[in-house]
Chain A
Amino acid sequence: NAGVMQNPRHLVRRRGQEARLRCSPMKGHSHVYWYRQLPEEGLKFMVYLQKENIIDESGMPKERFSAEFPKEGPSILRIQQVVRGDSAAYFCASSPPSTRTDTQYFGPGTRLTVL
């Protein structure tokens, strides 16, 4: 079984550009979560999605950040007009529909560097 897949693993953007991060959950998992980890800090929750629905986006910055999990294809975390402070590791996690949502399976992360 393939685990949670994220791509790209590393992404470099200049200030003002857009960053698109993709996450494919584990097979059979319908819950997707995005977290951000700043250098030397723990992971912080950003958003929780199910297919075609945003369940909780309370951890997302109010501007420039958006997420989706379409019926077909991977979940996308989109950051518009990136700034240097967006440089971080972004992790996606997934969980199956019938289990506790506090047991999550994480991908390898996308490391975003904003120049």
Chain B
Amino acid sequence: LAKTTQPISMDSYEGQEVNITCSHNNIATNDYITWYQQFPSQGPRFIIQGYKTKVTNEVASLFIPADRKSSTLSLPRVSLSDTAVYYCLVEGGLSDDYKLSFGAGTTVTVRA
């Protein structure tokens, strides 16, 4: 399992864009980058997954540079309800990569 590093916390205001960068220097060729969101007293929720370049869905965008040693989750125009912990995971989808490794994540606090 590739180790990831992300900021412990970030503060933002409603309507702003929030960008969370995750470092994964030892990412392997077959590893994918996945982000989960967890609200208090709830289970994590899959947000987005990517391998390279850019992926966008209705919730977020994921930017992955060519060397894949980092990735940035972008949340456009956040609202108070986006306050949550965001986890960056790097998994290969092979062998024992069902053992999702959730670190401390990034606590995003959105203020009015």
Contacts and interface: CB of A to CB of B under 8 A. Distances in A.
Contact of A56 (B45, B96, B100): B96
Given A56-B96, A93-B43, A109-B43, A102 B34 contact: yes
Interface string B34-50: 10000001111110010
Given A102-B93, A109-B41, A33 B98 contact: yes
Contacts, number: 68
Interface residues of B, number: 24
Interface in A35-91: 35, 41-45, 48, 56, 58-59, 91
A102 B43 contact: no
A45 B100 contact: yes
Interface string A85-112: 0000001110100001111111111010
A102 B96 contact: no
B46 A103 contact: yes
A102 B103 contact: no
A102 B87 contact: no
Q: Please indicate which of the listed interface residues B32, B45, B89, B102 has the most CB atoms of chain A within 10 Å of its own CB.
A: B102
Interface of B: 32, 34, 41-46, 49, 87, 89, 91-93, 96-105
Given A42-B87, A101-B97, 15 more contacts: A42-B101, A42-B105, A58-B99, A91-B43, A91-B44, A100-B91, A100-B97, A102-B32, A103-B34, A103-B49, A105-B46, A106-B44, A108-B41, A108-B42, A108-B43
